[in-house]
């Protein structure tokens, strides 16, 4: 995956960048399967590798396949990125260790979900019961976000089309 | 891509199975991996494959824009409607216990409809974005 990331950064041909990021998504999905997060792996494989690849290819066919040469040396963005990465890494030092059984998330609500899920909701898949029932508000919010994204795309692209049609009346 | 015989036949064979798999992921999400989001994406991917192979106009004929745009809003309405029904039946917003005499059955019913809402919105949005992106160049040429 590291090789793929370097390839995406170095490669100037956008078509191969899209293909490489699709492969990256599939590898990510296998990593998630290895972590026993099958639901997330499914989402990653279908959205990350499937649909976003199709959409990026569609965008490529609209805007051409070669990346433009950068206008100036990207030193300032590089510095900003390094500072942010340093801050994020510093932040992770405060998190509990990976798969630490004493981490707060494993001692407060997770045992209750795992123990009560079948009795309270009758759904054997805890991911589903947490998503749809215990955390129903969050999922409603997510659905609204998806809806807003779709509405935004419709609004932007429709308006562009109408304006063009207005300029060149036929 | 209309001339590619192998692609056309293979995708024709695959699309029904993809759609059935989407339904399976949707309704088996209680027991195995999956749920509304994944099912919506898979269903949208089946239609996208159809559109890629057989051309956008035939995909649009099969799943018209009006249907897709209705789906975008309808899913959120279903989800929010489940919450409102819970309110009307005397529970809190998004409380599923009141949807059936047996609280567990009420939970199952609530989760089912909520997942339907998620799937409808997600597949509608994905398809709409695909239609929008794929339809642009064609309109400029015309």
CA distance A3 to A21: 11
Q: Which of residues 88-117 of B touch A (CB under 8 A)?
A: 94, 96, 103-105, 107-108, 110-111, 114-115, 117
Neighbours of B19 (CB within 10 A): 16
Asked if residue A1 belongs to a domain, the reply is yes
Q: How many domains does chain A fold into?
A: 1
Which one, of B107, B41, B134, B37, lies nearest residue A157 by Cα?
B134
CA distance A22 to A35: 20
Asked if residue A82 belongs to a domain, the reply is no
CA distance A25 to B113: 30
* Distance between first and last Cα of chain A: 51
CA distance B82 to A135: 14
Name the average pLDDT for chain A.
79
- Residue B44 structure tokens: 């949208």
CA distance B129 to B78: 21
Host domain of residue B55: 5-141
- Residue B82 structure tokens: 């489940």
Give residue-wise pLDDT tens across range A58-83. Answer: 888 777 666 666 667 778 888 999 99
How many percent of chain A have pLDDT more than 70?
84
Least Cα separation, residue A43 to chain B (angstroms): 6
Host domain of residue A41: 1-67
pLDDT at A166 over 60: no
CA distance B25 to A38: 12
Q: How many domains does chain B fold into?
A: 1
CB-CB contact of A18 with A54 (8 Å): no
Q: pTM of the full predicted structure?
A: 0.76
Give residue-wise pLDDT tens across range B49-76. Answer: 888 888 888 888 888 888 888 888 888 8
Return the pLDDT at A123: 72
Asked if residue A129 belongs to a domain, the reply is no
Asked if residue A116 belongs to a domain, the reply is no
Asked if residue A118 belongs to a domain, the reply is no
CA distance B17 to B23: 10
CA distance A51 to B36: 16
Q: Which of B72, B114, B132 sits opposite A139 (nearest CB)?
A: B114
């Amino acid at each position: 995956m590291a090789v793929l990331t370097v390839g995406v950064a170095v490669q100037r041909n956008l078509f191969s960048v899209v293909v490489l990021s699709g492969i990256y998504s599939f590898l990510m999905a296998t990593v998630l399967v290895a972590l026993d997060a099958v639901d997330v792996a499914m989402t990653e494989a279908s959205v990350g590798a499937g649909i976003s690849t199709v959409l990026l290819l569609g965008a490529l066919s609209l805007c051409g396949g070669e990346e433009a040469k950068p206008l100036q040396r990207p030193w300032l963005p590089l510095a900003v990125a390094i500072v942010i990465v340093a801050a994020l890494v510093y932040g992770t030092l405060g998190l509990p260790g990976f798969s630490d059984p004493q981490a707060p998330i494993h001692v407060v609500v997770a045992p209750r979900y795992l123990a009560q899920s079948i009795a309270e909701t009758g759904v054997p898949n805890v991911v589903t019961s947490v998503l749809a029932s215990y955390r129903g508000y969050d999922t409603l919010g997510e659905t609204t976000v998806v809806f807003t994204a779709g509405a935004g795309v419709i609004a932007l692209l429709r308006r562009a089309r109408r304006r063009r049609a207005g300029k060149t009346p036929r | 891509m209309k001339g590619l015989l192998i692609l056309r036949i293979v995708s024709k064979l695959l699309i029904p199975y993809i759609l059935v798999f989407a339904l399976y992921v949707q309704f088996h999400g209680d027991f195995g991996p999956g749920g509304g989001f994944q099912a919506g994406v898979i269903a949208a991917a089946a239609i996208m494959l159809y559109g890629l192979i057989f051309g956008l106009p035939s995909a649009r004929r099969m799943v018209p824009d009006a249907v897709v745009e209705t789906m975008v809003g309808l899913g959120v309405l279903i989800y929010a409607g489940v919450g409102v029904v819970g309110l009307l039946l005397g529970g809190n917003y998004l409380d599923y216990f009141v949807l059936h005499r047996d609280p567990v059955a009420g939970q199952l019913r609530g989760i089912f409809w909520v997942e339907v809402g998620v799937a409808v919105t997600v597949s509608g949005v994905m398809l709409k974005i695909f239609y929008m992106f794929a339809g642009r160049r064609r309109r400029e040429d015309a």
